[in-house]
Structure 1
Amino acid sequence: MTHREQKLLKIQTSLFQNDGVSSQLADEFARQWQAQNPQGQVITRDLGAEPVPHLDLARFQSFITPEEERTAEQKAVVNYSDQLIAEITSADVLVLGIPMYNFSVPSTLRAYFDHVARAGVTFRYTPEGPQGLIKGKRAVVFITRGGFHGEDHSQTAYVRQFLGFLGITDVEVVHAEGLSVSQDAKENSVKTAREKIAELV
């Protein structure tokens, strides 16, 4: 039996794209992971550069219309969603770089989540409640914030809840806070986050 090469999916969401601190931390993790897995593959999904469309009625109806009844436009919508989901299901490790915008995650990430949460595909409803269908993944999440909000903030809880909803429960979250408070606060916070990367890899 041949050994399958490991895959890492890096999802960055900063409006500043590669210049965002959250993107840089996620990229640093990916670089160190690549050094440990030289045969591994890193896939990048940059939601700042290529935003996922927001979910509207037409797109939602595309998901729930039976496959044999979908129009060409609906098939294109579903194929796009399937591609996003395939990136997740083929990866062993997910790394997310997430800044805080207005006390929550970027709207581009919410739109992305709306396209990968599909009943019967990535989760299913059961009498005991929803059950995630994406198993055996590890997720490392870098959350950056201009101020200080703490690890128990609803933003962090939301990301954990959504990943768990899909079945991804092995989740490590690294916070880098106070980036807009002062240069010293920013440098100290980023330094601490980078030190954590070496531990997590």
Structure 2
Amino acid sequence: MAKVLVLKVTMINDKVSYSTAILNKFIEVYKNKYKNDEIIELDLTNEPMAQKALTRDNMGNFWNKDDSEKYIDQLKSVDKLILASPMVNFNIPAILKNYIDHVFLADKLFSYKYSKKGDAIGLLDKLKVQIITTQGAPVGWYPFSSHTEYLRGLWEFAGAKINRPIVISGTKVEPYSKMDINDFVKSELDNIMESLKEF
């Protein structure tokens, strides 16, 4: 039995959110395949920690037991992480960035200690991560931005193994823009099933 943390990060209403729709379908199919796994859902919209951005005025107490250690311990206690993120202004949502700033700490999620080449050693080497990303524009419209690769690199840096990401782009253009949310999810079912094979 595996413990699975599901990280919800969208600020878009669930009824119209592409990333939430794909995440929900992924979890549904996952539960059918791994019936005994424990699923823990964490919606960052409901977490006071995720509302706190790092500034020079709060740097002295930004990392604390309630806002950092609790979430770091949670990450270390699970076997898998499922993360669905829309693109917002060419990057991840601010609440996800705040979460990352709270948990990606040296000697907690990564360490330079005992490194032979000076590179960081990731401490989440038992964690497997499924990244799901959505964006309104097709791939390549904004070559300066890839929130998928940012998230992949970040979790790899922490030592996690990354499953094949589910990347859905062009949600603001046809054919996706002409579909209702249910038809959209059906159109991506093969994509979901393919990623689930190794997760």
Taking structure 1 as the reference length, the TM-score comes to: 0.80
Q: Could you say if the C-alpha distance between residues 87 and 28 of structure 1 is closer, same or farther in structure 2, counting changes exceeding 3 Å?
A: farther
1:113 aligns with 2:109: no
Structure 2 residue 195 is the aligned partner of structure 1 residue 195 = no
Query: What RMSD in Å do the two structures reach over aligned CA positions?
Result: 2.4
TM-superposed deviation, 1:119:
0.9
1:189 deviation in Å?
A: 6.1
Who is 1:68 aligned against? none
Contact conserved, 2:155 with 2:162, CA < 8 A, in 1? no
Q: 2:119 aligns with which of 115, 129, 134?
A: 129
Unaligned residue ranges in structure 2 (runs of 5+): none
Q: Which structure 1 residue ranges, 4+ long, deviate > 6 Å from structure 2?
A: none
Aligned to 1:71: none
Among 152, 160, 164, the alignment partner of 1:172 is 164
Q: Secondary structure at the match of 1:61?
A: coil
**3-state DSSP class of the match of 1:97?**
strand
Q: Which has the higher helix share?
A: 1
Q: Secondary structure at the match of 1:44?
A: strand
Are 2:133 and 2:166, in contact at CA under 8 Å, matched by a contact in 1? Answer: yes
Give the TM-score taking structure 2 as reference length. 0.81
- Give 1:61 deviation, angstroms: 2.8
Q: What's the % identity of the aligned pairs? A: 26
- For residues 112-152 of structure 1, the C-alpha deviation after alignment (integer angstroms, 9 at most, x for no partner) is 111110111111124521111011221111111111125x8
Structure 1: 5+ residue stretches without partners: 64-73
Counterpart CA distance in 2 for 1:27 and 1:39 is 18
Residues 49 and 155 (structure 1 numbering): CA distance in 2 closer, same or farther, change over 3 Å?
A: same
Superimposed CA distance per residue, residues 37-84 of structure 1 (whole angstroms, 9 cap, x where no aligned partner): 222111111123435121234654347xxxxxxxxxx7xx33331111
